[in-house]
Amino acid sequence: MQSYEVQSSPDVTPRVWQNEPSSKNSKTTVGGKTPGTFLVWRVRAVGANDTGEWSDIALCMVP
């Protein structure tokens, strides 16, 4: 595994995703979001030879 791709959307049933900075760690922090808003997130692993499937979405409130 080389890195993780992360996407977010303000829509609970997203049609358009925003690419977030990728990470080489399984834990990351994404800044620049409005506190108190809800976003849905998904992530996938990117390897040297292949890219994984997107995860199920997770709904989270920005602290």
Q: Is residue 19 part of a domain?
A: no
Joined together, the tokens standing for residue 41 give 């997130």
What is the Cα–Cα distance from 47 to 14, expressed in whole angstroms?
25
What is the Cα–Cα distance from 23 to 12, expressed in whole angstroms?
24
For residue 52, what pLDDT is reported?
97
Domain count, the chain: 1
Q: Is residue 4 part of a domain?
A: yes
Q: Is residue 28 part of a domain?
A: no
H or E segment to which residue 59 belongs: strand 58-61
For residue 10, what pLDDT is reported?
94
Whether the pLDDT of residue 61 is over 80: the answer is: yes
Sheet holding 18-23, edge to edge: 18-23, 3-9, 38-46, 58-61
Q: What is the pTM of this model?
A: 0.88
For residue 47, what pLDDT is reported?
95
For residue 5, what pLDDT is reported?
97
Q: pLDDT of 1-56, one tens digit each? A: 699 999 999 998 889 999 999 999 988 999 999 999 999 999 999 999 999 999 99
Structural domain boundaries, residue 49: 1-12+35-63
Q: Is residue 27 part of a domain?
A: no
